[in-house]
Amino acid sequence: MAASNKTTAVYRLIMVGSGGVGKSALTLQYMYDEFVVDYEPTKADSYRKAVMLDGEEVQIDILDTAGQENYAAIRDTYIRSGEGFLLVFDVTDAESFQDLNELYEQILRVKNGGTNIPAILVGNKIDLAERRKVPLEEAEQKARSWSIRYIETSAKTKHNVDKVFCELMRIVRPFKNPVRETGPTTTSGRQTKPIKSGKHKKCIIL
């Protein structure tokens, strides 16, 4: 362990989306490099790991939610604890795409930080592209209307899996370190672009 009196930043990220979209599969693929086909659908769990994010050691904390959060009060509690959200749908399931509207509205309401929330819209199961029901343009359009990014993933092939978690931490980072912001305040929850330059731009699990 490095001798340091500085506490490690913890990034609290939350997997959101209807049942079966691949929230657990994405989480487990990121954490353990494994594609899990039959993860218990009602099991919610949280995971923590040390990550080197652009030259800084941080902890990623992922809350993989499951069905029980249908109770709005429970959802409010975990939403409040979250700093960043992966809004996941299944590209082969149009209903899962629609379901995100309500979840997004709820996050906005709980965070009541204006219109910007640190989040990424994630279209998962892109390996099943031949069964796609949600056109790319529609997903991009929704992401634009929410002022967030859209990224397509496959928990099966690991396509873009590391990327969504790393990019979400980069989106959350300015909210954690307001001193990095150029503006006078960050309470407006302004969305900032991920840092593009810099020779330490790397994001790896330690």
- Chain residues that interact with ligand GDP, rule: CB under 6 A: 17, 19-25, 37, 39, 41, 124-125, 127-128, 154-156
User: 53 vs 126, which CB is nearer to ligand GDP?
Assistant: 126
Please identify the residue of the shown chain whose CB is closest to the bound Mg ion: 24
Nearest distance from residue 80's CB to ligand GDP, in Å?
Answer: 21
Secondary structure class of 168 (helix, strand, coil): helix
Nearest distance from residue 186's CB to ligand GDP, in Å?
Answer: 31
Chain residues in the site for Mg ion (CB under 5 A): 23-24, 66
Q: Which does 19 bind (CB under 5 to 8 A by kind): Mg ion, ligand GDP, none?
A: ligand GDP
- Rounded Cα distance between 28 and 6, Å, is 29
User: 58 vs 167, which CB is nearer to ligand GDP?
Assistant: 167
Both tokens assigned to 77: 């509690």
Return left, alpha or beta for 130; rule: phi > 0 is left, psi -120 to 50 is alpha, else beta: alpha
Task: Indicate the pairing of strand 203-205 with strand 45-53.
Answer: antiparallel
Nearest distance from residue 148's CB to ligand GDP, in Å?
Answer: 19
User: 159 vs 190, which CB is nearer to ligand GDP?
Assistant: 159
Q: Which does 125 bind (CB under 5 to 8 A by kind): ligand GDP, Mg ion, none?
A: ligand GDP
- Rounded Cα distance between 121 and 108, Å, is 14
User: 58 vs 100, which CB is nearer to ligand GDP?
Assistant: 100
Number of continuous H segments (helices) and E segments (strands) in the chain: 5, 7
User: 25 vs 151, which CB is nearer to ligand GDP?
Assistant: 25
Q: Which does 127 bind (CB under 5 to 8 A by kind): ligand GDP, Mg ion, none?
A: ligand GDP
For the chain, give the longest Cα–Cα distance: 52
Nearest distance from residue 86's CB to ligand GDP, in Å?
Answer: 11
Its sign, for the CA torsion 104, 108, 111, 117, is positive
Residue 172 makes CB contacts below 8 A (sequence gap 6+) with 11, 13, 83, 84, 118
